[in-house]
Amino acid sequence: MRKLISFTGISLDGYYKRTSGEFDFPHVDEEFFDFSNRQDAYLDALVFGRETYEHMAAHWPNATEGDPEIIDFMNGVPKLAVSDTLERADWNNTTLVRRDDIAGTIKDLKQQPGKEIALFGSVQLTASLLELGLVDELRVIVFPVLLGEGVSAFSTLSGQVQLELWRTTTFRSGNVLLVYRPA
């Protein structure tokens, strides 16, 4: 069975974006690009909530700066955009899924042969799927910055979710990857 892996970046004080909505604080460098390429090699499907999808779809199709392997991966891999408000999803290789259909869609996708499925960003969707027991691994990269205020990463959880720390990775930049599995 395939695994659903959530990957979220946060500040040290737990915010995934600024109060203004900007996600402009991640520290990315060659080491981060190498990590991303290694991670992407184990993935063959991506899932995004509406907000993250719109951000990604606005960036990646025209991206020219950054790692060419990541650009090719992001534009070529099959994607699901989860939204009740989007009329269509035009980014290459994207299927639009309604929010009330996502649990069944993820269950079906996990049963199909293939590599891992990644849920990038999309903290509200991650919280919902965690509560449904559909997230197999939670990868949180903590960037070495304190924002002081912002939007909390998992404030939409309706209850507690117990996790077990599975591994950590420290980057020279000060980024720290925490990998958890539901307990």
Domain coordinates of the chain in residue numbers?
4-182
pTM: 0.91
Tell me: pLDDT of 66 over 90.
Answer: no
pLDDT surpassing 90 at residue 88: yes
pLDDT of 33: 86
Q: Give the containing element (helix H, strand E) for 9.
A: strand 4-11
Q: What is the pLDDT of residue 177?
A: 97
Closest CA to 154 of 174, 124, 131, 129: 124
Q: Answer whether CATH 1.10.10.10 is correct for domain 4-182.
A: no
Nearest to 142 by CA among 112, 103, 176, 171: 176
Q: How many CB atoms lie within 10 A of CB 177?
A: 18
With a cut of 90, say whether residue 98 has pLDDT above it. Answer: yes
Model confidence over 129-183: pLDDT tens digits?
Answer: 999 999 999 999 999 999 999 999 988 888 899 999 999 999 999 999 999 999 9
Query: What is residue 67's predicted lDDT score, i.e. its pLDDT?
Result: 82
User: What does the pLDDT read at residue 38?
Assistant: 87
Task: Give me the mean pLDDT over the 57-73 stretch.
Answer: 90
